Amino acid sequence: MKAVVTGGTGMLGKKLGKALLARSEITKIVLFDVVDPGDTPKDSRIEVVVGEVFDPATIAKLITPDTGAIFHLAGVVSAGAERDFDLGYRVNLDGTRVVLEAARKLPKPAKLVFASSLAAYGGDLPDVIPDEFRLTPQTSYGIQKAMGEMLVADYTRKGYLDGRSLRLPTIVVRPGKPNLAASTFASSIIREPLAGQKAVCPVSADAWMPLLSPRRCIEAFMRAYDLPSSDWGWNRSLMLPSLDVTVGEMAEGLKRHSGAKAFDLIEWKQDEMIAKIVAGWPKRLDSKRARKMGFQSDTSMDELIRNYVEDDMPKAA
């Protein structure tokens, strides 16, 4: 059976590719993305394919009759989708529809896991978001993700695929360089000081951030894939558990791990656009359904930072 990962050469896509290698039922893994950085996992079962997710001809060649698993991670991130309205809709909405249409043509419904986002919430939010809270996104990215969830649910309802959508918290700590996501600073203020470099924090210390480490995120993707369809029922969207902390608490976690010298490398410099976007996101999550289904979050900033150091922090020569 073939597994297809869109957004497959990104940070999470590469980690997911490695996790899929452990599955005996999966004989081929295709990592699909708009670029090939050349650092994807090296294994005879892994193939890297480059193309645009919104191109039907490309995706039709990608999702072939032997495809049984699809992980749809490809997307233009939050601030990028807000800055470029047309690109955001072309990739995040049109691309999702193209992937679902290709899956619809398979001889047997494939399992499809869709990476949604907490940006699907917005507006006047309570301090704690329960599972049943309405979706009222206030950014183009959040709206595109909410529409993607609805599409996955409808294609599942019609029997075209077996879909599951995960609303991801902010993933921290991401290795590598900052991206265009409004939340990219959340990784930078940990990652850069750990490397002895300065980092700018564009929001205040009292801003809340629901977090999930890459390690826990990949565990969530695999659990979403493994759970039988009956466990999901009619509700195919799930708010993942998170570690809910303020940005100040994140910085204090860094201080506990690496001392005042690392803490002092954070420069607090407000960016009104980023601060406004972040202020519109949920603060804390009450993910009872996800925890009942066996999904887990990191338990502390100490664990979250430790996961990064063990999994992704460049080792000293």
Give pLDDT tens digits for 253-309: 999 999 999 999 999 999 998 898 888 888 999 999 999 999 999 999 999 999 999
| Element holding 278 (H helix, E strand) | helix 272-279
Residue 141 annotated to the active site? yes
Q: Which of 141, 155, 160, 308 is catalytic?
A: 141
Mean pLDDT, range 50-59, rounded to an integer = 98
Helix (H, G, I), strand (E, B) or coil at 64: coil
Cis peptide before 173 (omega within 30 of 0): yes
**Long-range contacts for 153-159 (Cβ within 8 Å, ≥24 apart)?**
153/236, 153/237, 155/100, 155/103, 155/104, 156/236, 157/234, 159/109
Q: What fold is seen in the domain 171-210+242-283+300-311?
A: UDP-galactose 4-epimerase; domain 1 (3.90.25)
Architecture of domain 2-169+213-239: 3-Layer(aba) Sandwich (3.40)
Position 181 pLDDT exceeds 90: no
Please tell me the predicted confidence (pLDDT) of residue 279: 86
Please tell me the predicted confidence (pLDDT) of residue 316: 65
Distances in Å between the Cα of 194 and the Cα atoms of 11, 238, 262, 312 are: 19, 33, 6, 12
Q: Map out the domains of the chain as residue ranges.
A: 2-169+213-239, 171-210+242-283+300-311
Residues 213 and 226: their CA atoms lie apart, in Å, by 20
Query: What is the number of other CB atoms lying within 10 angstroms of the CB of residue 311?
Result: 14
Residue tagged 């939050």 (tokens): 78
Cβ(154)–Cβ(195) below 8 Å? no
Mean pLDDT, range 127-155, rounded to an integer = 95
For the four alpha carbons of 52, 53, 54 and 60, in that order, the dihedral sign comes to positive
In this structure, which amino acid lies at residue 131? D
Position 183 pLDDT exceeds 60: yes
Q: Which residues contact 39 (CB under 8 A, 6 or more apart)?
A: 14
Mean pLDDT, range 84-104, rounded to an integer = 97
**pLDDT: which is higher, 19 or 78:** 19
Distances in Å between the Cα of 65 and the Cα atoms of 33, 60, 113 are: 20, 10, 18
